[in-house]
Structure 1
Amino acid sequence: MQLSNITRSPGWTAFFASPMSVIGLIIVVVIVALAALANIITPYPTHVGPIGDFAAMNQAPSAAHWAGTDPMGRDQVTRIIFGFRLALIMAAVVLVTSVPVGIAVGLLAGYKGGWTEYLLMRLTDIFLAVPPLVFAMAIMGFMEPTLLNGMIAITALWWTWYARLIYSVTRAEAQEGYVLAAETIGASTFHILFREILPNCLPTIITKMTIDVGFVILMAASLSFLGLGVQPPTPDLGAMVADGAKYMPDSWWLSLFPGIAILIVVLGFNLLGDGLREAFDAGK
């Protein structure tokens, strides 16, 4: 299929016809570009670590420091941009690790049925019964608060939503003619699950993953805010909000700008995910 045909498809037409979808796409592209080019475009790249400028400590927003400086004189804009990079890396690792597990569980339970379905779905329901932030906090209570352990804590629960989602889709797809035809010719369970059913689940998976990037970042920020995530001096948006709260209301910029950054990244991925869902629905 030619590229011109793809861009003129009903799905993409619906996507670009929605202002909110386009805004979400622009936000995501800008944030990813900032994170990728952080070392080049940030005005004070050395401020990403413990090195600061005590002559500029706790300065309000100005032409030299658009979002002010922290108590060590480090530029807030620089640390926010590097915080974007850390947040995107964490979201990517969590989703790349948890999504395949959830997909495998959902496919197997939805297609096989019987005791396989009962055991896998009841296990999923047990995990889903626990609030995600509480579950992650419980895990972090037994582990050292680091970036790696934070990703493990979030990943331990994130697969469950994909298992439940793919289970529902697989139950419906398993009754379709193409699956029955594959069974008739003796196709293996592996072939039916991953070559027949899974491709039809991809639009749903892609949409949820896009939206979940924002939620993973919000979860990681919540852990850092509580002191259970990434530790100083690594620039983390949640930790920056928590540290800045100690100096409110005098140094209001310390919490305000990292908080706005979290809001923007979550909003961007949510708008993009909603746009992709509309595009996939229109393209059916």
Structure 2
Amino acid sequence: MKKTLLILTRNPLSLLGLILVTIIVLAAIFADFITPFPEHVGAVVDFTNFNQPPHWPNIFGTDLVGRDLFTRVVYAYRVSLILAAVVLIIAVPIGVSIGLTAGYLGGWTEYGLMRITDIFLSIPPLVLAMSIMGLLEPTLTNGMIAVTAMWWPWYTRLVYSITRSEREEGYLLAAEVIGASKLHIMFREILPNCVPSIVTKMTLDFGFVILIASSLSFLGLGVQPPTPDLGSMVADGAKYLPDSWWLTVFPGLAILFAVFGFNLIGDALREILGGDQ
């Protein structure tokens, strides 16, 4: 862990990513204390201060009903991070378990599981999520379900490839000879060799999940008002460009910084963990 942090801090781009992600996570956790108007998260109106450009204390300006935009962007980070974390917590175990099973057992099990995975992978991710959300009520929970349904196949394909390459290794043959169970071999022998790749992909995917969730909200299929969401704020503000530019620019930059930060850390981890293997 110390070695990883040392390498991250020595690389300027990795350090930048670490700083961005740290600021985003801390802002989301302590949003109640760092935002000037926490009550503006809900259905609050202040028509005496509506649609104002950036000024003190509204450093990001105000929206069309007078709510502080900085407050709503910070709370939207909390919503986005929770959504991304829940999606990956659900999708990764599902994808990893299917990939291990298909890669190690082979035969008809492999054929059936991987063909199902290929069907999901053949559908563009955003289209699949939009199709699912079109059938469900647009809520945060249903948004998580939609994004999870499109995310697990990528981990299945990743772990399946690694498992196939490990299946004939000597340590697996030795484990089989001494009578180790299939579950033991899959989850105690093969899985540890998959962890570096899984961790790297999870870090990269954190930003992409936020981007996909924001895209759904931009299309009106994600988190619904008055809950703050970056995608819906960009969509609402786009109607008033270029005059009320702050309505779109600041939420858009928030999405950019989140995706950029997680990508930089993910790229650094890929080099670090890849070098350790």
Measured in 2, the distance between the counterparts of 1:223 and 1:276 equals 28
- Pairs within 5 Å for 1:85-164: 85-164=78-157
Q: What do residues 208-251 of structure 1 show as CA deviations (whole Å, max 9, x unaligned)? A: 00110101100000000000001000000000000111211211
Identity between Structure 1 and Structure 2 (%): 62
Measured in 2, the distance between the counterparts of 1:12 and 1:36 equals 22
Q: Letter of the aligned partner of 2:23 in structure 1?
A: V
> How far does residue 101 in structure 1 lie from its aligned partner after superposition?
0.5
> How far does residue 14 in structure 1 lie from its aligned partner after superposition?
3.8
> How far does residue 110 in structure 1 lie from its aligned partner after superposition?
0.7
Q: Letter of the aligned partner of 1:117 in structure 2?
A: E
For 1:52, the equivalent position in structure 2 comes to: 45
Determine if contact 1:25/1:272 at 8 Å carries over to the other structure. Answer: yes
Asked if 1:72 is matched to 2:65, the reply is yes
Measured in 2, the distance between the counterparts of 1:46 and 1:14 equals 41
Q: Letter of the aligned partner of 1:249 in structure 2?
A: P
> How far does residue 13 in structure 1 lie from its aligned partner after superposition?
4.7
The 3-state SS of whatever aligns with 1:64 is coil
Asked if 1:271 is matched to 2:241, the reply is no
Determine if contact 1:91/1:216 at 8 Å carries over to the other structure. Answer: yes
Determine if contact 1:47/1:74 at 8 Å carries over to the other structure. Answer: yes
Asked if 1:42 is matched to 2:35, the reply is yes
Determine if contact 1:12/1:279 at 8 Å carries over to the other structure. Answer: no
Q: Letter of the aligned partner of 1:17 in structure 2?
A: R
Measured in 1, the distance between the counterparts of 2:274 and 2:14 equals 14
For 1:178, the equivalent position in structure 2 comes to: 171
Measured in 2, the distance between the counterparts of 1:282 and 1:19 equals 19
Give the TM-score of the pair, scaled to structure 2.
0.97
The 3-state SS of whatever aligns with 1:141 is helix
Determine if contact 1:28/1:269 at 8 Å carries over to the other structure. Answer: yes
Q: What do residues 141-177 of structure 1 show as CA deviations (whole Å, max 9, x unaligned)? A: 1111111111111111110000000000111122222
Give the TM-score of the pair, scaled to structure 1.
0.95
Q: Letter of the aligned partner of 1:110 in structure 2?
A: G
For 2:14, the equivalent position in structure 1 comes to: 21
For 1:228, the equivalent position in structure 2 comes to: 221
Q: Letter of the aligned partner of 2:188 in structure 1?
A: R
Gaps of 5+ in 1: 1-5
- Name the Cα RMSD after superposition: 1.1
Q: Which has the higher contact order (CA 8 A, sep 6+)?
A: 1
Q: What do residues 121-158 of structure 1 show as CA deviations (whole Å, max 9, x unaligned)? A: 11100000000110111111111111111111111111
Gaps of 5+ in 2: none
